[in-house]
Amino acid sequence: MPSNKSVSDAPIVQFTNCRILRSHQLQREDLWVREGKILNPEKLFFDEKGSADIQLDCKDSIIAPGFIDVQINGGFGVDFSLATDDFKSGIDLVSQKILSHGVTSFCPTLVTSPPPVYHQVLPQISIRNGGAHGAGILGAHLEGPFISKEKKGAHPEHCLRTFEAGAFQDLLATYGSLDCVRIVTLAPEMKRSSEVIQELTKRGICVSLGHSVANLSQAEEAVQHGATFITHLFNAMLPFHHRDPGIVGLLTSDKIPPGRRVFYGMISDGIHTNPAALRIAHRAHPKGLVLVTDAIAGMGLAPGRHTLGQQVVEIDGLNTYIAGTKTLSGSVATMDTCVRHFQEATGCSVETALEAASLHPAQLLGIEHRKGTLNYDSDADFLMLNDGLYVQATYIAGEEVWRQDVLGM
Residues annotated in the binding site, as ranges? 143, 154, 211, 232, 235-236, 243, 272, 328-330
- pLDDT beyond 60 at 244: yes
Give one DSSP letter per residue of 264-286, joined into a string.
EEE--SSSSS-HHHHHHHHHH-G
CB-CB contact of 149 with 94 (8 Å) = no
Q: What sign results for the dihedral spanned by CA atoms 374, 103, 14, 36? A: positive
CA 309 from centre of chain: 19
CB-CB contact of 42 with 84 (8 Å) = no
Q: CA–CA separation, 386 vs 402, rounded Å?
A: 15
- Binned at pLDDT 50, 70 and 90, residue 21 comes out as very high
pLDDT for 157-216, tens place per residue?
999 999 988 899 999 999 999 999 999 999 999 999 999 999 999 999 999 999 999 999
What pLDDT is stored for residue 5 in this prediction? 46
Whether residue 30 lies in the annotated active site: no
What pLDDT is stored for residue 44 in this prediction? 79
CATH code of domain 66-365: 3.20.20.140
What percentage of the chain exceeds 90 in pLDDT? 92
Closest to 71 (Cα-Cα) out of 96, 105, 99, 101: 105
pLDDT for 278-290, tens place per residue?
999 999 999 999 9
Q: What is the mean pLDDT of residues 304-309?
A: 93
What pLDDT is stored for residue 280 in this prediction? 97
Closest to 141 (Cα-Cα) out of 75, 229, 214: 229
Give one DSSP letter per residue of 275-339, joined into a string.
HHHHHHHHHH-GGGEEE---B-TTTTS-SEEEEETTEEEEEETTEEEETTS--B--B---HHHHH
Q: Which residues pair with 285 in a beta bridge?
A: none
What pLDDT is stored for residue 406 in this prediction? 59
- pLDDT beyond 50 at 2: no
Ordered alpha helix ranges (H), 206-257: 216-224
- Binned at pLDDT 50, 70 and 90, residue 106 comes out as very high
CB-CB contact of 232 with 295 (8 Å) = no
CATH 2.30.40.10 fits 13-64+373-403, yes or no: yes
Cα-Cα end-to-end distance for the chain: 48
> Where, residue-wise, is CATH 3.20.20.140 in the chain?
66-365
Q: What is the mean pLDDT of residues 367-377?
A: 98
What pLDDT is stored for residue 7 in this prediction? 58
What pLDDT is stored for residue 131 in this prediction? 97
- Binned at pLDDT 50, 70 and 90, residue 409 comes out as very low
Q: CA–CA separation, 91 vs 97, rounded Å?
A: 10
Q: Residue 126 burial (CB < 10 Å; 0-12/13-18/19+)?
A: exposed
Q: Which of 69, 294, 336, 381 is catalytic?
A: 294
What pLDDT is stored for residue 47 in this prediction? 80
> Where, residue-wise, is CATH 2.30.40.10 in the chain?
13-64+373-403
- pLDDT beyond 80 at 6: no
CB-CB contact of 297 with 77 (8 Å) = yes
Closest to 122 (Cα-Cα) out of 69, 43, 49, 179: 179
